[in-house]
Chains A and B, each alone.
Chain A
Amino acid sequence: MRTYTVDVLVVGGGAAGMAAAAAAAREGARTVLLERGERLGGVLEQCIHPGFGLHRYREELTGPEFAHRMRQELDDSGAEVLTGATVLEILPDGPAVKVVSPKGLKKFRPRAVVWAVGARERPFGALRIPGTRPSGVFTAGLAQRLLDLEGLLPGRRAVILGSGDIGLIMARRLHLEGVEVRAVLEIQPFPGGLTRNVVQCLRDFGIPLLLSHTVAEVHGRERLEGITAVRVDEHRHPIPGTERRIEADTLILSVGLIPEVRLIEDTVPLDPVNRGPRVNGRLQTEVPWLFAAGNCVAVFDLVDTVAELGERAGASAARYARGELPPGKPVPLVRGENVVSLVPSYLDGTAESARMYLRVPRPMEGVAVDVGGVVRRRVPVARPAEMIEIPLDGDALSELSQKERIVVEVKPK
């Protein structure tokens, strides 16, 4: 097996990885990006709707267009790209990374690694829906890949479970391509995705959204024939007598993404709510040579944020590789009221500035985010679909780093 020595090794060629590799290379680090697929872009490639890049490029681009621009920046940076290269294992001593590519097995000995492998979809089995297991049940991401990359329709009549943005966007795509979308079911009493997506993906085309509803049972032997929808109460328990059957040959599950950590979970401490590695303001994990960015840290709503985090991680990794990133004293960020996702997990006083990202558990109006009593920011409308971004400047960071712990909470103003 050939061994390659590099400064920064980036794993994953989505928005986070491309941004990280470009930033590391621009810092002068010898950088290699590994992507298991044939093309770079990750989920961007299959998101053909507009809605990407308003912050980064001040233009509303489709996913592939956004990926194309990032690819140009990456090529200009001088980072080396290897596609068809899947990371199999990370060995903490060294560190060393084992990779399989069409040309065989390779081993890398990097000084720093940026983990940027994205998120995976929560699978059908995790839902524990009673009934048969016929074909015709797809995760939303798989259906999107089949449709928008391969041009294959998953079926003729579909029900979508989950009204997050991915579910809403798939409803519109399927409808436009001639699939009858019977309904979108959402277990919560409010839509999971952005209002603009409820309007532009469902209301525009008259697709019904059934709130406080879930799938009670699936029917069909070989191919799906239909599902039983049921209304749920505030504790998400099915209400007897509200069952109704909806005929469909396709069930699309859009029930959430989980950060992909399978190759690093034994190496690095994870955050139990984000489900990705605990990182500081520089996107460094508690294993100093390992950095992480994008949807494998926490699930982000905007690719612009993901790209920015990628850049931060790549630049930090390059500085670490040069021996310029001394450890600081870690101060944990602690979730107070109404905070679910929260990035970073701790601050250590080594960054000049940082950004904090958080999500609320339910829609709220007229609230304020409080960061350790030092930073307070009003948020007129907070929705679970959107990450709230709080910039932390140098002064705030140095004041926060004096503390033992920093409580972050969202409260009525």
Chain B
Amino acid sequence: MTEKKLVCVSCPMGCELTVVLEGKKVVSVSGNRCPRGEEYARSEAVEPRRVLMTLVRVEGGRDRVVSVKTDRPIPLRLFPKAMARVRELSVRAPVAIGTVIEENFLSTGANLVTTRPAR
């Protein structure tokens, strides 16, 4: 059995959580002041996921880059790979806000979408 210390980031309280794991299985969660903390700890201890936000190159427009995000959290451990992939991408101006640049990004089930228009 292993013990992991986490800080719940689901709300500003920032409870300090202790998760007991057996291999990849969560045995118990303590330190949370509400059920959301337990839910957070169960996924965080096994596979932390985050929304990735970055920039994609824009070709043929006034803007050099456009901001993008994954439309749902992806595993944090994929971030280096994700950034390497993003560097290979580019879009042609103009692009609308909410345009999908890459579907099922790195097979995560998340899409990479623009978060602003680019001219």
Chain A contact residues, CB within 8 Å of chain B: 45, 48-50, 60, 62, 64-65, 67-68, 147-151, 173, 176-178, 194-196, 198-200, 204, 380-381, 383, 386
Q: Check A62–B115 contact: CB distance below 8 A.
A: yes
Give the residues in chain A near B14, CB-CB below 8 Å: 194-196, 381
- Chain A: minimal CB distance from B63 (Å): 8
Q: Check B67–A196 contact: CB distance below 8 A.
A: no
Q: Check B50–A200 contact: CB distance below 8 A.
A: yes
Q: Check B64–A150 contact: CB distance below 8 A.
A: yes
Q: Check B12–A381 contact: CB distance below 8 A.
A: yes
Complex: how many Å from CA A190 to CA B116? 35
Question: Nearest CB to that of A203 among chain B residues?
Answer: B7
Complex: how many Å from CA A295 to CA B117? 26
At the interface, yes or no: B26 with Cβ under 8 Å from chain A? no
Q: Check A199–B9 contact: CB distance below 8 A.
A: yes
Q: Check B12–A383 contact: CB distance below 8 A.
A: yes
Chain B contact residues, CB within 8 Å of chain A: 7, 9, 12-14, 48, 50-55, 57, 64-65, 67, 69, 76, 79, 83, 97, 115-117
Q: Check A151–B53 contact: CB distance below 8 A.
A: no
Complex: how many Å from CA A340 to CA B50? 34
Complex: how many Å from CA A27 to CA B54? 39
Complex: how many Å from CA A195 to CA B53? 19
Question: Nearest CB to that of B76 among chain A residues?
Answer: A204
Known A150-B64, A381-B14; 14 more pairs at CB < 8 Å: A48-B69, A50-B53, A151-B57, A173-B53, A176-B52, A177-B54, A177-B83, A194-B12, A195-B7, A195-B14, A196-B7, A196-B9, A199-B7, A200-B9
- Chain A: minimal CB distance from B118 (Å): 10
Q: Check B64–A49 contact: CB distance below 8 A.
A: no
Task: Show 22 residue pairs from A and B whose CB-CB distance is below 8 angstroms, ordered by the A residue.
Answer: A48-B53, A48-B67, A48-B115, A50-B53, A50-B69, A62-B53, A64-B67, A64-B115, A67-B116, A147-B55, A151-B64, A173-B53, A176-B54, A176-B79, A194-B14, A196-B7, A196-B12, A199-B7, A199-B9, A204-B48, A381-B14, A386-B12
- Chain A: minimal CB distance from B3 (Å): 17
Question: Nearest CB to that of A45 among chain B residues?
Answer: B116
Give the residues in chain A near B54, CB-CB below 8 Å: 48, 176-177
Complex: how many Å from CA A196 to CA B7? 8
Give the residues in chain A near B7, CB-CB below 8 Å: 195-196, 198-199
Complex: how many Å from CA A196 to CA B9? 5
Give the residues in chain A near B83, CB-CB below 8 Å: 176-178
- Chain A: minimal CB distance from B38 (Å): 17
